[in-house]
A and B are shown apart, each in its own frame.
Chain A
Amino acid sequence: MKRHKEKIKRIVLALALVLVISWVIFPLYIMVKISVSSPQEVMTQHPSFLIKDFTPDHWQKVLSGQAIRGPLTKSLAVATISMIITLGIGIPAAYGISHLPKRWGYLALIAIFFTRMFPEVGIALPIAIKFLEWNLLDTNIGLALAHVIRVLPIACWILVGTFQTIPRELEEQAQIDGATKKVVLQRIVLPLSMGGISVAAIFSWLFSWDEFTYALYLCLAQPTLPLKIYYYITRGSWFLTATYATIITIPVVIITYSLQRFLKAGYTAGALKG
């Protein structure tokens, strides 16, 4: 009887899981379907659910022209630079904050979060003006720095939480064993924080990859991929919008998949000597 109940519970759980996954994947499927379907199949009162009239035309149109190369390269470059800068500043800052007395650490975090309290559309214009004064229009570094402004507080917050989970005793024990502060950081703290660092890295990369408002202000000659999608949405072309939207999703899947192996719990379990 108990085994039977357990079995039913598992089936219900599996069904619920399938339902949730379908709910998440459905819009993505529709996006991919539109990108490879003929207009005659989609533009009717009752479009089919499955792909019936496959066509590579929209992909060919997007990939054969020069239009995709520039935005793709720019988006990749900006997202990567933004991630590197965020981690470069965020890791030392968060490590320092995590070692402050609890009250001061909390205060420092709140101070960092202060910049996130303003609505993006409100501060984007003054920031864009400053960046233009510094000749950062149409530069990868300019856009990446603008993205860092928004993403750094959250990255710090994630990283402070990560560093706080590492027992202080672990660092002290390593120092007693003769390790310098630098070695402690390199060999103990950073490897044990890879989960949190990966989350911060994924988050900052994805934020920059998707970001729109600053890109709108700071790009003129070369748009990023979100701006390119916006162009097709504004122009009302479904198929090219869907194709670009699929393209923008591919690196997200790759980067999330490749970094998720670091997202394991229990890194510090049993780390302390008795």
Chain B
Amino acid sequence: MKRIITLLFLLVFICGCRSVGKDVLRVVMGLTEEEWQVMRQDIFPLFEKEHDCRIKAYQVEAQDWVRKLEAMVSANKVTVDVFSQDNMRLYPLVAKKLVEDLTAYVDKIPSQITPSMKEVGVFRTRTYFFPYRPNVQITYYNQKKFNEYNLKPPKTWDELLKVGKRFKEAEGVGRLGLKLWGGSPTVAQVYELIVSAGGEPFEFNDQGCIDTFVFLKKLYPYLSVDSKKAKWDTTNTYLANESFYLAQNWPFGVNIIVKEYGKNEIKAYSGWRGPKREAHTVGGEVLGIPKGAKNKELALKFILFLESREVQEILVSKLGWPLVRQDAYGQIAEWQEPYFEAVEEALKEGVYRPNVLYWGDFEKFLNEAIMRILVNQEEIKPVLNQYHQKMQDVIIAYETRC
């Protein structure tokens, strides 16, 4: 009996010793299983070895992170030290004061990071997030169908309209995909159309905005019926089941459509230019530290580690992620190359959404305008004039408050 007790005691002692002295860094990310595998096998061990710590990583989707963190911060039980977040969902984190102000550490951001990426984490004059992964929507098209109808991927608005007409004439139904489900997917798409028409999206009724809606109204009859159900995730399905022959989406669709579903005929390119320029909304992820994080110092080291050349080269080689640094290179898998090139091309014409406090209101208004003009077929100018006024009222109200 004594021996058993001694043995148990030793066991507990050894287990205890193992964890003593090792810092634990708790990380939240929203990744696919494949991405997690690379993080856990190739990236985390490097950091753990370098800093003699242990990383505990958790999966949380970008759309859920705000309420989860809000609950943690309100309960004063923040069990996460660092997180990555979609750069289109940053505003609520700042507005609800859920993240640490990192302005004091801005000079630690490597100088080789693409300068425009640094701006993504800045709200008014304060920096709350550090860049780590750029992303941009690319245009997927069904090469087999394009060849069948002797078409080329459209490079201008006019060509896009012609392609849409040709598909409808040939098959009797629209085959172009536009994300009309509402919310961020719809807004991100129309935002870049307005910019490429030379418009200022917050104005709503300038010439660029009007031109965009005139074009969308012309395009509407040639859209697939599934456009009304199209979001980020469902767009992959509609491309794969050939409801869409052409649609824009993020590069994460490549792994699903091509690798998982085996639809090798789905190719990608950067997209089309508008009447004034080519523009693609830049998305991606940034890194932040939750308010009240216990291991802030180590979290900051981890952020800088993910921005390092070594890590960025692993990410591009193993996952085909676009690079956040200008000095990093990597060899990507052969099948991924054309898609990666499309991403790189699109990033060259990347436009960053401004970090404004009234983004939520803008998103709501733009969605309403799209539904009224396209789905309800209302007159363009009166609707846009209404939303111009509403937007101006909101902007003035925010500026007065600040």
Measured CB to CB, the residues of A under 8 A from B are 39-40, 42-45, 47, 67, 125, 128-130, 132-133, 135, 137, 216-217, 220-221, 223, 230-231, 233-239
- Chain A: minimal CB distance from B26 (Å): 9
The 5 closest A-B pairs by CB, nearest first: A132-B75, A236-B233, A39-B261, A43-B240, A128-B71
12 more A-B residue pairs beyond the given contacts A43-B241, A125-B67, with a C-beta to C-beta distance below 8 A:
A39-B261, A43-B242, A43-B263, A132-B75, A132-B77, A133-B75, A137-B77, A217-B68, A220-B79, A230-B61, A231-B61, A235-B233
* Complex CA distance for A98 and B267, rounded to whole angstroms: 67
- Chain B: minimal CB distance from A149 (Å): 16
- Chain B: minimal CB distance from A36 (Å): 16
* Complex CA distance for A186 and B260, rounded to whole angstroms: 57
For the residues of A in contact with B, the DSSP-based class is: helix
Contact of B284 with A by CB under 8 A:
no
- Chain B: minimal CB distance from A66 (Å): 11
> Can you show 5 pairs from A to B with CB atoms below 8 A apart?
A220-B80, A221-B58, A235-B252, A236-B252, A236-B256
Given A40-B262, A129-B74, A220-B79, also A236-B236 (CB < 8 A): yes
* Complex CA distance for A168 and B80, rounded to whole angstroms: 56
Contact of B164 with A by CB under 8 A:
no
Look across to chain A and name the residue whose beta carbon is closest to the beta carbon of B64: A216
Q: Are A236 and B237 in contact (CB under 8 A)?
A: yes
Q: Are B74 and A236 in contact (CB under 8 A)?
A: no
CB 8 Å contact bits of B237-264 with A (1 = contact, 0 = none): 1001111000000001100100011110
CB < 8 Å neighbour of A43 from B70, B77, B261: B261
Q: Are A129 and B256 in contact (CB under 8 A)?
A: no
Q: Which residues in A have their C-beta under 8 angstroms from that of B71?
A: 125, 128-129, 132, 217
* Complex CA distance for A45 and B241, rounded to whole angstroms: 5
Q: Are B58 and A238 in contact (CB under 8 A)?
A: no
Interface residues of B in 62-96 (CB under 8 A from A): 63-64, 67-68, 70-72, 74-77, 79-80
- Chain B: minimal CB distance from A96 (Å): 34
Q: Are B232 and A236 in contact (CB under 8 A)?
A: yes
- Chain A: minimal CB distance from B240 (Å): 4
Look across to chain A and name the residue whose beta carbon is closest to the beta carbon of B241: A43
CB 8 Å contact bits of B209-230 with A (1 = contact, 0 = none): 0000000000000000000000
Q: Are B77 and A133 in contact (CB under 8 A)?
A: yes
* Complex CA distance for A89 and B346, rounded to whole angstroms: 60
Contact of B336 with A by CB under 8 A:
no
Q: Which residues in B have their C-beta under 8 angstroms from that of A231?
A: 59, 61
Interface residues of B in 140-194 (CB under 8 A from A): none
Contact of B107 with A by CB under 8 A:
no
Q: Which residues in B have their C-beta under 8 angstroms from that of A44?
A: 241-242
Q: Are A220 and B58 in contact (CB under 8 A)?
A: yes
Contact of B298 with A by CB under 8 A:
no
* Complex CA distance for A129 and B78, rounded to whole angstroms: 11
- Chain A: minimal CB distance from B74 (Å): 5
Look across to chain A and name the residue whose beta carbon is closest to the beta carbon of B249: A236
Q: Are A235 and B242 in contact (CB under 8 A)?
A: no
Q: Are A135 and B77 in contact (CB under 8 A)?
A: yes
* Complex CA distance for A237 and B257, rounded to whole angstroms: 9
Q: Are B33 and A67 in contact (CB under 8 A)?
A: yes
* Complex CA distance for A236 and B241, rounded to whole angstroms: 13
Point out which of A42, A67, A135, A235 has the most chain B C-beta atoms below 10 A from its C-beta: A235
Q: Which residues in A have their C-beta under 8 angstroms from that of B56?
A: 221
Contact of B234 with A by CB under 8 A:
yes
Q: Are B60 and A125 in contact (CB under 8 A)?
A: no
Q: Are A39 and B260 in contact (CB under 8 A)?
A: yes
Contact of B32 with A by CB under 8 A:
yes
Q: Which residues in B have their C-beta under 8 angstroms from that of A220?
A: 28, 58, 60, 68, 79-80
Q: Which residues in B have their C-beta under 8 angstroms from that of A130?
A: 75
Q: Are A45 and B260 in contact (CB under 8 A)?
A: no
Q: Which residues in A have their C-beta under 8 angstroms from that of B64?
A: 216
Point out which of B33, B56, B71, B260 has the most chain A C-beta atoms below 10 A from its C-beta: B71
Look across to chain B and name the residue whose beta carbon is closest to the beta carbon of A127: B71
Q: Which residues in B have their C-beta under 8 angstroms from that of A132?
A: 71-72, 75, 77
Q: Which residues in A have their C-beta under 8 angstroms from that of B33?
A: 67
Point out which of A135, A137, A234, A236 has the most chain B C-beta atoms below 10 A from its C-beta: A236
- Chain B: minimal CB distance from A214 (Å): 11
* Complex CA distance for A124 and B252, rounded to whole angstroms: 31
Look across to chain A and name the residue whose beta carbon is closest to the beta carbon of B261: A39
* Complex CA distance for A34 and B121, rounded to whole angstroms: 42
- Chain A: minimal CB distance from B272 (Å): 24
* Complex CA distance for A7 and B253, rounded to whole angstroms: 56
Look across to chain B and name the residue whose beta carbon is closest to the beta carbon of A130: B75
Q: Which residues in A have their C-beta under 8 angstroms from that of B67?
A: 125, 216-217
* Complex CA distance for A234 and B56, rounded to whole angstroms: 23
* Complex CA distance for A237 and B259, rounded to whole angstroms: 11
